[in-house]
Amino acid sequence: MMSAALFKKEAAERINCLAQAKIAPHLFVFCNFSPDTMTAQSADGCLMLGILNMFKLVYDASIVDNMQKWLHSNHIGTQAARLDKLILTAKAWRSYLAHNQSSPAIQEKSGAKMDLWLKGHGVSQLISAGDYQQCLRLWENMADELMKSLEIAIGELSQGNREEVVASWENWIRTFYQRPSSGNIVKHYLLAAYETYDLQGRHISPHSEYRICKEYAERLFFAKINARIKEKRDIIRSYKIATLQDKAREALDNLEREKNELRQTIEPKYNDYCKAYLMERFDECLQKPRQNMQAGELLPQFFLQRAVDEDMASM
């Protein structure tokens, strides 16, 4: 039977609910964890998916890595070492199994580490289906251990300085969104907006996704300042009073200068504009009073979807 923590999202959602109940409603531990599963499950295939899912749990789809570093550096609670061991194991196996490594020496060294880990857990080698199943059970146990460790860590953090913990937690989430892959978080919402507003239900060809996302991220990133520029231009066109026109022209010049300076801070690449837009709207969300935030408000389906809808409506 597959581990609920490793192959189903309910355990991750339960941890999110625990953090929101004990720390603050707008926070999260896991960001839309979607475990990979197979309908026709070979033992080696299940193990591979289990390892990839574990990596999602500790890094790709969570703030666990950032939490562990903070717990360790501040000597808080009892779970930093336990979490560190789980994170390092997941990263090492994922790197060895899922990355192409050009150096035979590196590959051999990584393989030796994996062999040592297996033997330390009573698995001599991965050859038969039984070997893979035994190793998979180890990963299922690690996923369960991760959830238990997070439960304890959240309970310990809830006993500390609430304001400090919430501020640190928000920073863990901000760091999560700053990762190189964060542009991909925006991609889904940009493509959905493009289909809604421009394609009216027609499909996007795969080769055009890059161009569409880059263009839309740039448009949305500048949506607010472009709306202010349009307002000043409308004043210049609509009003004949010289003083109003002069003030509007001065404001327009300042806005154009501000826009150009802002553009120079962003490399005109797909992921850079996506990340810039994501971080700008995330920081705007954090400006709200904490007592007005809803459950999971810092998840992208809440603050980012709202931002995309508002910015599209303004264009």
pLDDT tens for residues 155-166?
999 999 999 999
| Domain regions of the chain by residue span | 4-177, 184-314
139-165 as b/e: b if 16+ CB within 10 A: bbebbeebbebbbebbeebeeeeeeeb
How far is the C-alpha of 306 from the C-alpha of 309, rounded, in Å? 5
* pLDDT on residue 3: 61
Q: How crowded is residue 70: how many other Cβ atoms within 10 Å of its Cβ?
A: 19
Using a pLDDT cut of 70, give the percent of the chain over it. 88
Among 257, 251, 219, which Cα is nearest to 233's? Answer: 251
Q: For 252-309, how does the pLDDT look when each residue is reduced to its tens digit (9 = 90+)?
A: 999 999 888 888 877 665 567 888 888 989 999 999 998 889 999 999 999 998 888 8
Instruction: Name the token pair of 184.
Output: 């991909």
Is pLDDT at 62 greater than 90 in this prediction? yes
Using a pLDDT cut of 90, give the percent of the chain over it. 41
Is pLDDT at 89 greater than 80 in this prediction? yes
Strand partners, 30: 62
Is pLDDT at 106 greater than 60 in this prediction? no
* pLDDT on residue 99: 56
Please give the DSSP secondary-structure letter assigned to residue 30: B
Is pLDDT at 10 greater than 60 in this prediction? yes
Among 2, 135, 76, 108, which Cα is nearest to 11's? Answer: 2
* pLDDT on residue 53: 93
- Flag the least confident range among 17-26, 107-116, 287-296: 107-116
Q: For 125-170, how does the pLDDT look when each residue is reduced to its tens digit (9 = 90+)?
A: 788 888 888 898 999 999 999 999 999 999 999 999 999 999 999 9
- Flag the least confident range among 32-36, 78-82, 275-279, 309-313: 309-313
List of residues 6+ apart from 183 with CB closer than 8 A: 213, 217, 270, 271, 272, 274, 275, 278
